[in-house]
């Protein structure tokens, strides 16, 4: 008997730990959940209802139904509210539209202008908080705002100073972002062509292979030409420059075909295209038509034979195989 009692005492904390605690409000009074308000209040007597009302500092006069309604309204008001939806972060690749970026930049210029006119110190966070809008789409939003506002007030030196300050911040941020992108490209280049392709695709989707980055590469080329060396970095910069230009003007179909042609065998091609097609069935259909057109062109072209035609044929076979497995 004593041993059995010891076992019961041993499991008692486990049992009580899973018991739902009684909801309490401040000052130790019992909380009324909306469910309890709907189900339990009707079973209480008037003195009990008035006691609950008194605990909450509410009126205690009225008929029973009025007391119940009063408690239910109070319980609904005390119920926890869902947290507000988080504000989506604006990044260079996901600014909803050009007008939004322009509005954000316009407000920034106004804020800087007011600070200059009132001789107030400009908080660096004011500029940093608008960084993504300033960098979006190659920084075109700032140029649009600057042209419009300076044209409307050509002799406003304070406005010109505010625009110049924002432009200086934007230029520095583009420099830092371009430097980071170049480091990513050079790191990927040491790992292989597939990793380099992935890197370019990632940077393109993020909107980082833009005009400022192209200018950054050209500046590096000019600097490198003035330095003695074996020319290796020069060749790397030329490759990066040409690739940036190609990425900027190429369609997604062309980029995917170029990447598929660089796959070493049919299995690698199938794995790569399966990932691309899983994103969009519509793109899969467009790409199939694109590959058919490319194969027809290569077949009819005098210099389209050989390895190029063979590679397109391999891609076409894999595309056909994958498309047959997809829903119509």
pLDDT at 156 over 90: yes
Q: Which residue has the higher pLDDT, 47 or 93?
A: 47
What's the whole-number average pLDDT of the chain?
Answer: 76
Residue 70 structure tokens: 């009063």
Distance CA 298, CA 89 (A): 45
CA atoms within 13 A on the CB side of 327: 3
Taking the CA atoms of the chain, what radius of gyration do you get in angstroms?
Answer: 34
Q: What is the pLDDT of residue 59?
A: 87
SS3 content of the chain, % helix, strand, coil (to 5): 75, 0, 25
pLDDT at 35 over 80: no
pTM of this prediction? 0.52
Q: What is the pLDDT of residue 81?
A: 56
Q: What is the pLDDT of residue 152?
A: 93
Q: Which residue has the higher pLDDT, 106 or 233?
A: 106
pLDDT at 6 over 70: no
Give the distance, in angstroms, between the CA of residue 22 and the centroid of all CA atoms in the same chain. Answer: 42
Sequence-ordered strand ranges (E) for the chain:
none
Q: What is the pLDDT of residue 236?
A: 75
Closest CA to 167 of 150, 192, 151: 150
Q: What is the pLDDT of residue 14?
A: 37
Residue matched to tokens 């391999």: 314
Q: What is the pLDDT of residue 79?
A: 62
Q: What is the pLDDT of residue 248?
A: 60
**3 state SS of 30:** strand
Distance CA 257, CA 290 (A): 9
Distance CA 115, CA 151 (A): 21
User: In the predicted model, what is the mean pLDDT of residues 51-58?
Assistant: 83
* 162-216: pLDDT as tens digits: 999 999 999 999 999 999 988 898 888 888 777 887 888 788 878 888 888 888 8
């Amino acid at each position: 008997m004593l041993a059995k009692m010891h076992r019961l005492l041993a499991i008692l904390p486990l049992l009580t730990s899973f018991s739902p605690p009684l909801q309490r409000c401040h000052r130790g009074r019992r909380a009324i959940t909306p469910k309890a308000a709907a189900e339990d209040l009707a079973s209480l007597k008037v003195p009990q209802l008035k006691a609950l009302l008194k605990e909450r500092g509410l009126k205690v006069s009225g008929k029973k139904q009025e007391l119940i309604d009063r408690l239910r309204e109070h319980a609904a008001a005390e119920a926890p509210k869902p947290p507000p939806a988080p504000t989506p972060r604006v990044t260079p690749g996901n600014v909803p539209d050009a007008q939004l970026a322009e509005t954000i930049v316009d407000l920034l210029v106004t804020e800087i202008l007011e600070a200059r006119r009132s001789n107030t110190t400009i908080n660096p966070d004011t500029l940093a908080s608008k960084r993504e809008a300033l960098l979006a789409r190659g920084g075109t939003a700032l140029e649009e705002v600057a042209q419009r506002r300076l044209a409307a007030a050509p002799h406003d030196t304070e406005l010109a100073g505010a625009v110049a300050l924002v432009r200086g911040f934007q230029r520095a941020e583009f420099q830092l972002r371009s430097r980071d992108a170049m480091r990513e490209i050079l790191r990927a280049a040491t790992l292989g062509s597939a990793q380099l392709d992935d890197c370019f695709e990632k940077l393109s989707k993020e909107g980082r292979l833009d005009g400022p980055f192209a200018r950054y590469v050209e500046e590096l080329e000019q600097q490198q030409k003035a330095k003695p060396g074996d020319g290796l970095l020069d060749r790397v910069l030329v490759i990066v420059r040409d690739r940036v230009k190609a990425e900027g003007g190429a369609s997604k179909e062309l980029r995917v075909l170029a990447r598929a042609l660089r796959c070493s065998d049919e299995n690698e091609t199938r794995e790569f295209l399966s990932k691309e097609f899983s994103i969009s069935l519509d793109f899969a259909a467009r790409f199939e038509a694109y590959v058919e057109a490319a194969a027809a062109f290569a077949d009819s072209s005098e210099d389209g034979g050989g390895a190029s035609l063979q590679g397109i044929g391999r891609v076409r076979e894999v595309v056909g195989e994958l498309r047959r497995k997809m829903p119509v």
